[in-house]
Structure 1
Amino acid sequence: MNWLFPLAKGGAAPASAAPPARTGLQQQRQRQVESLRAAHASIAEIQKDVEYRLPFTVNNLTININILLPPQFPQEKPVISVFPPVRHPLMDKQGVYVTGPLISNFTMHSDLGKIIQSLLDEFWKNPPVLAPSSTSFSYPFNKPAGMPPFAPQGFPFLLPYPIQETNRAMTAMPVSESVSSSYTTDKPAAPSYGLIADLPLPVPTAEAVLQVGQNGFTYKMPDVPDTFPELSELSISQLTSMNEQEEVLLEHFVTLPQLKQVISDRDELVKSIEELAKKNLLLEPSLEAKRQTVLDKYEQLTQMKAAFEKKMQRQHELSESCSPSALQARLKVAAHEAEEESDTIAEDFLEGKTEIDDFLSSFMEKRTLCHCRRAKEEKLQQAIAMHSQFHAPL
Structure 2
Amino acid sequence: MQSRMYKTDADIRKSQINTLKVFNANVNEVSEGQEYQIAFDSGCNKLILNVLLGSEFPKEKPKLKISPVVIHPWVNAEGEITSAPGLLNFTVHSDLGRVVQAITREFERNPPPLIGHDNKKMSPCNSVLDGEHSRTSPSFPTLPVIKSFSPPSHTPITSQFPQLNHLSIEELQFLKENADRQQEFIEEMQCINNQQRVLDECIAQIEELAESNLSKQQQLEDLRFGIDSRIEEVTKLAFENERLLGIYQDLSDKYSPRNIQDQLRIAASQAELEGEKIAENFLKGEMDVDRFVNQYISTRKLCQMRKTKEEKLGHQLDSLEKAGF
TM-score by length of 1: 0.43
Matching residue of 2:236: 303
Matching residue of 1:369: 302
Residue 238 of structure 1, CA deviation: 6.9
Matching residue of 2:128: none
- Residue in structure 2 matching 1:225, options 111, 124, 132: 111
Matching residue of 2:259: 326
Greater relative contact order, per chain length (Cα 8 Å cut-off, separation 6+): 2
1:174-232 CA deviation, whole Å, 9 max, x = no partner? xxxxxxxxxxxxxxxxxxxxxxxxxxxxx9746527599xx978462342123243323
Structure 1 regions of 5+ residues with no counterpart?
A: 1-202
Distance of 1:383 and 1:367 partners within structure 2? 24
Pair 1:254 & 2:187 matched: yes
Residue 330 to residue 304, structure 1, CA distance change in 2 (3 Å): same
The secondary structure found in structure 2 opposite 1:362 is: helix
Structure 2 regions of 5+ residues with no counterpart?
A: 1-71, 76-80, 113-158
The secondary structure found in structure 2 opposite 1:369 is: helix
Pair 1:317 & 2:203 matched: no
Residue pair 1:341, 1:366 contacting (<8 A) in 2 also: yes
Pair 1:273 & 2:206 matched: yes
Query: Structure 1 segments of 4 or more deviating over 6 A?
Result: 235-238
The secondary structure found in structure 1 opposite 2:286 is: coil
Matching residue of 1:92: none
The amino acid that maps onto 1:281 is: L
Identity of aligned residues (%): 29
1:55-86 CA deviation, whole Å, 9 max, x = no partner? xxxxxxxxxxxxxxxxxxxxxxxxxxxxxxxx
The secondary structure found in structure 2 opposite 1:330 is: helix
- Residue in structure 2 matching 1:383, options 302, 316, 321: 316
Residue pair 1:222, 1:262 contacting (<8 A) in 2 also: no
- Residue in structure 1 matching 2:220, options 282, 287, 294: 287
Distance of 1:362 and 1:327 partners within structure 2? 26
Matching residue of 1:148: none
Distance of 2:215 and 2:241 partners within structure 1? 40
The amino acid that maps onto 2:243 is: K
Matching residue of 1:117: none
Distance of 1:292 and 1:343 partners within structure 2? 71
TM-score by length of 2: 0.51
Residue 244 to residue 338, structure 1, CA distance change in 2 (3 Å): farther
Residue pair 1:222, 1:261 contacting (<8 A) in 2 also: no
Matching residue of 1:342: 275
The secondary structure found in structure 1 opposite 2:216 is: helix
Distance of 2:260 and 2:167 partners within structure 1? 110
The amino acid that maps onto 2:221 is: E
Which of the two has greater helix per residue? 2
Aligned residues between the structures: 188
